[in-house]
Structures are given as structure tokens and as C-alpha cells.
Amino acid sequence: MLVYGALLADAIVRAPAIAGATAAVGGIGLLFLALVLWRGSQEYLPAAAACLGGVYAVAVVVHGASVDERAPLVAAGLLLCCELAAWSADERTRIAAERPVRRTRAAALAALVGGALAAAAVVVALGAAPAGRGLAWTIAGAAAAVLVVALAVRAARS
Amino acid sequence: MTRLSSPRLAGYAGLAALALVAGLAAGRIELVALATPFALAAVVGASVGREPELEATLALDRERALEGEDVGLTVELSSPTGASRVDVLALLPDALAPARPNPFAVRLAPGETRTIELPLRCDRWGAFAVGPTLVRARDALGFHAWETRLGRSSPLRVYPSVETLHALLPPFETQVYVGNQLSRARGEGIEFADVRPWTPGDRVRRVNWRATARRGELWVNEQHPERNTDVVLFLDTFAEVERDGRSTLDMAVRAATSLAHRYLSRKDRVGVVSFGGFLSWLLPASGTKQLYKIVDSLIQMDVVLSFAAKGVDFLPPRSLPPKALVIALTPLLDARSASAILDLRARGFDLVVVEVSPVPFVDPGKGGEVPELAYRLWRLSRETLRARYERAGVPVVEWVDGVPLNVPLEEVAAFRRYARPVRA
């Protein structure tokens, strides 16, 4: 909740012009997150992430043309927020877990978030680097998007 | 194994796709950066979704225990592939309380074998099946879970604790075999009974010389022989009343166990009749083997709902031998058992009714006149039934939960001390 609140505050500060709408949508996301934590169900987690991600996207677009260097931090923070909420939901069942079990998950989570931060940083760095524009790049981007959508469909079916 | 995937995995992939498309449309690298962690998480989630190999065995340190004792349950887990988290739930009956948390979660390294000791406290008697285990393995981030049942269930018999009985009810008539019960009849024995004139065939050692000298003719001593008795424990299993884990059937089984143990220890023959929805019996016999047979049958007793009319006629004649002392343990809740008991009395059995009182298990009823009136009427109907038994010459004694069994037995003994056995 703290991480989510911090990211929401950052988005509000980034675009004061639309602070009201940002706060409203972020608040809905916060409600979704509270629902996840209250019910111990992860079904509403993507909705919570989508709300904050949408708020951030609008704030970035409204903010201006310059590249936001804090984007990797925001992205990794959002993932961290989701994973912590999912962990909390998993721990709802009263199962006495030994210490190595928790250590393993903490280590895996740290690795995932660290890797995500690094990957997002690389993406931002690559985006800032001068590169060619044109049809090939657009096709490559579209292919990447289609690949992710396919992955999403496969994950949903499994 | 049943595979379960977290809904967030699909959600992450969808979010990543959405952010990527939005980034492409808006031409903002920040949105692509936003998509990257979720895309990475989705890829990691998809790649770790391999089913782990798990094996589990359950073992009890013994198959028999007494109520209140501890039994050790050992759960052995192994996995050739390893598992980041394995949640284990040993399926236990309510009467067995684990001393450490159940379920529990452990981590298994590849090829590692873990042995978890789970001490169980036997809270209540019964025949139980311990296990199998419900096992759920998860990957390190909880994206996937695999659930299955592993291991075989192990049988465990928990015998009820035996109450120390100071005195037992002596029957009016004994059997022909040698035992520890002093017979009312006269014959060969140790305990002096009377003197009578000598008859041909009497041994010289039986001559009472003092009486002979006084009367001027031969008089001999007579003794009470030591005989065994047949005892039939008649359990009414038509209905029970339960509260806070205690029930009338529970009390009846404990009482029957204590009585069987005590009667068998003095060489009597003991049989059991379970008279209820499910009719069962054990023919009277003596010895330790019979004690185990009785206790094994008692711990499997349960109330089976039935509307079938049942009488004593359904029982085989050998289960109720002549001259047997029949001790009926009943809550007097079902009319069928109430009439069966009267039928037994009419057939001339030496009968004692220990009424396992359901009254402490029933709330008097609050919140109005009607519940209170119903409760009083119920109590009155019980009084009427008791009076009916007493008119038929059957001693009825109320046994309330928390009172030692010695108390009602002593009451019956006092009643029988002055009662004359009559044929109904």
C-alpha cells in the first residue's frame, strides 16, 4: 500500500493539471489493491496495476516531451507493489512456513524486481539513444507487442 | 497433480501488452519501460511452470493408543527435482490434535529428503485413519501451484481410558463355571453357608464336629461355591445428545469399557449388544482377547439414524444367555430402546438400567414460556418413564456427566441389596 501510495503521489505531482482525475483513478486502483489484501484474492491485482499504470501514462504524456528517467523505478515499483500484495494474499492461509521458505521467496522477489529494474533501465537507455526511425522499427515494435499478447493468451489458457 | 496458475500471471502479460501497444501508439518509451517488468515477470512465470516430482510417506509410531496419550506421526517428504515451497496438510480426524502446526510449509532442495515429526494427542477414543497428506507445491514466486494427495492413510485405534471401579454389581444368579463371584447357591466352596445333616456321599472333612457333638448325629458344613457370571453390556445407540465434544454415547462407551475391563479381570464372561440403528453384538466370553474384541467393537460404535422398528427378537439368543446380568447403558431418548429394556425385564433377565443422563447436554430453553414449558414437559416424561421401569422392578439410576461411575453403581447395589428377585 505504501509503495502504491508513493507511486500515486509521484504521478499526481508530475501532472498537477490533472491531479483530480489522477487521484480519482489512482484511488480506484488503491481500492482494488485493498480488496486484494482484504480478500486474499489476486484477481483484482492486474486492475490495481492497470489503474496506476494508466495514471502514470497519462501523467507522462501530459508532462511533456522529455523522457522520464524515473520510469524504470516506477515500473519496478509497480511490479514490487503487485508482488508484495500477491505474497500477502498467499500468506493469508494459516500455514506455518519455515524460515527458508520465506527467504527463498524474498530472494526470488528481489531478483525479479532487480532484473525488472535493470531491464526497464536498459529499455529507457535504448530509447534515449539515437536510433533510426522508420517502418522496420515500427514493425519490430508491433511484433514485440504481438509476442507479448500471444504470451498473455497462452498464460491465460494454461 | 492438479495445476493451478495465479490469475496475476495472465494479468501481467495483459498489462505488458497493453502498455507496449500504448507506448507504440503514443510514441513514449516510458510506457515500454513500464511494460518491461510485467513482461519479464510473465516470461519468468511461464518458464518456472514445471511440475515438481514429490513423494510423501506417513508413518505412525504405533497402531494402538490410550485416550490422552501422544502418538508420533512422521511425514517424510522428498523431491528429486526440488520445490521452493511445499505446503503439507496431514489429514487428521478431529479427535487427534497435532502438537505442532498442521498444515506446514517446507522447502525441498533437489534430491533432499525431509522428515517432519508431528506429535498427535489422542483427545478422544475411536478408530481412525490418519492421512493421507494434501500436498501443494509452489514455485518460488507463487505463479503456479500443483496440488495432489500423497501417502497412504495409517490406521490408529484409540482406546477409551478406564475408570477405576471400586465395586461391581453382583448378579442375582451365577453360571456353572468357576469364577470369583460368590454364588448364592450352596455347594463346594470356601465361604461358609450353613450346616445340614450328613447324607451318604458327604466327605468326612466336611463334617462339622461341634454341631455333630451338640446334636448327637453327623452334621456337615455347606459352602457357597465361587462361580463366574455372564454380563451383557446393552448399549442404546439409537440416539445421543452432544455438547462441547462430549456426548451420551461417549459416556456410555467409557462406562462399558470400564465395566468390561473390571468384569473380565475377575474371570466373568462379558458380551456386548449395540442396540440401535445398526445392530451388533459380541457373544459373552472371557479373557484378554475378549477385552480387546469388546473395546474394538465399542470404539467403532456410532449412532446410526434409523426409523426401523427393532426389538430384542432381532438379537440371537446366544447374545443374551440365561441368568445373565444385563447392564443397559441408555440415555432413554428413543422409545424403541425403552420398550426393548422392558421386554428384557419381562423375559426374566437380571436387569440394571444406567441412565446416561442427557439433561446436562440440553439447554433449558430461553426467551419465552414455550421453550421452558417444553423443557419441563420433557423432564416430566423422563420421570414417568423412570417410574415405569421402577414399577416393573428394574433399578434405574441416573448417571450425570462428571460424576464417577462408582456413584450410580453403588446406588444400584444399594437398591439390589434390599430387592427381591422376582420373575415378571
pLDDT for B424 equals 47
Architecture of domain B230-418: 3-Layer(aba) Sandwich (3.40)
State whether residue B346 sits within 8 Å of chain A by CB. Answer: no
Contact A82 B8 (CB under 8 A): yes
Do A127 and B12 make contact, defined as CB atoms within 8 angstroms? no
B181-199 per-position pLDDT tens digit: 777 888 888 888 899 999 9
pLDDT along chain B (424 residues), means of 10: 84 87 83 88 82 88 90 90 88 90 88 89 89 88 88 89 84 78 81 91 91 93 87 89 86 92 89 86 90 88 73 79 89 86 85 90 81 89 89 87 89 79 55
Query: Å from A116 to nearest chain B CA?
Result: 4
Domains B55-159 and B230-418 alike in fold: no
ipTM: 0.83
- Identify the domain containing residue A92 by its residue range: 2-157
Q: Using a CB-CB distance cutoff of 8 angstroms, which residues of chain A are in contact with residue B7? A: 42-43, 45-46
Per the listing, cell 510417506 goes with: B57
Q: Tell me: the pLDDT tens digits for B64-118? A: 998 889 999 999 999 888 888 899 999 999 889 998 888 889 988 888 888 989 9
Angle (deg, nearest 10), helices A71-90 and A2-14: 150
Query: In chain B, which residue's Cα lies nearest the Cα of A149?
Result: B17
B107 touches chain A (CB under 8 A): yes
| 8 Å CB contact of B103 and A96 | yes
The pLDDT mean for chain A works out to 83
Asked if residue A155 has pLDDT above 70, the reply is no
* Pairwise CA distance, residues B363 & A85, whole Å: 46
Residue A81: pLDDT above 80?
yes
For position A157, what pLDDT does the model report? 62
**Third-level CATH fold of B55-159:** Immunoglobulin-like (2.60.40)
Residue B36 has its nearest CB partner, among A100, A116, A145, at: A116
- Residue B46 and residue A61: Cβ atoms within 8 Å? no
Closest to B375 measured CA to CA, from B360, B397, B356: B360
- Cβ–Cβ below 8 Å for B141 and A105: yes
* Residue A156's pLDDT band (cuts 50, 70, 90): low
State the Cα torsion B366-B368-B372-B378 to the nearest 10°: -100
For chain B, the domains span 2-47, 55-159, 186-224, 230-418
Considering only CB atoms, which chain A residues are within 8 Å of B100?
96
| Rounded-to-integer distance, Cα A149 and Cα A155, Å | 10
Peptide bond preceding B101: is omega within 30 degrees of 0, i.e. cis? no
**CB within 8 Å: B26 and A45:** no
Rg (chain A; Cα; Å): 18
The total number of structural domains that make up chain A? 1
**Each residue of B278-305: pLDDT tens digit?**
888 899 998 899 999 999 888 887 777 7
pTM of the model: 0.71
